[in-house]
Amino acid sequence: MGDIEAPSSPGPRQSVLMSVLPSREFASSRKGMLLLAEVALSFISFVCFAASTAAGFVTVPLLEFLAAVFLVFAYSTKFNERFKGFLWPLMDFMRCVTASVIYFIISIMAVSKYADGSSKAAGVFGFITTIVFALDFYFIFNELATFLKAGGESNDEPTREPDEFSDSDSD
């Protein structure tokens, strides 16, 4: 009566939860760890700024939190591979550069201009978040530079050869 086995297949709630969470392989990758750190630190900065007298800066951590959550979802579900309308690495690079610069600026202002403890904590977490975003854009920059040095050739996309029956003027 006390030994009841758990069902081997996940229930409907568990399968929905597993579809929303990032996969284990993505979460253990370098990009996954950086994005998850960006999500966590942006949320902590958001809470600290919201509780401080520097509440005017609360927009930056909120927007960066939402952008990082979207990218965790996009990368973990491979949405970026299905939707090729954007240049994902370039978009991610620009997001990280602007986030690191803006976080650095608001962290300096929060630490130097405001005296309450939560503003100081927001500034410290902002500096840590700046470092994480700077690491992310450094790694993205190295990947983009390697891609461009190789001549922009990717193994993912097949090369187009001219058709035998093309209407080109070069025939």
pLDDT (tens, 9 = 90+) of the chain, 171 residues, equals: 555 555 555 556 666 555 666 777 777 888 889 999 999 999 999 999 999 888 889 999 999 999 999 988 888 888 778 877 777 888 889 999 999 999 999 999 999 998 899 999 999 999 999 999 999 999 999 988 888 888 766 555 444 445 555 455 554
Residue 116: how many CB atoms within 10 A of its CB? 13
Residue 162 tokens, joined? 């001219």
Alpha-carbon distance 166 to 171, whole Å?
A: 8
Q: Comparing C-alpha atoms, which of 60, 53, 57 is closest to residue 38?
A: 60
Amino acid making up residue 37: A
> What pLDDT score does 159 carry?
47
Q: How many C-alpha atoms does 11 have within 13 Å on its Cβ side?
A: 4
Q: Identify whether the C-beta of residue 140 lies closer than 8 Å to the C-beta of residue 93.
A: yes
- Count how many residues are written for the chain: 171
Alpha-carbon distance 34 to 36, whole Å?
A: 6
What pTM, to 2 d.p., does this model score? 0.73
CA angle 101/26/67 to nearest 5° reads 35
Residue 143 tokens, joined? 């990947």
Return phi, psi of residue 23, to 5°: -65, 160
Alpha-carbon distance 54 to 108, whole Å?
A: 12
Q: Comparing C-alpha atoms, which of 96, 151, 159 is closest to residue 129?
A: 96
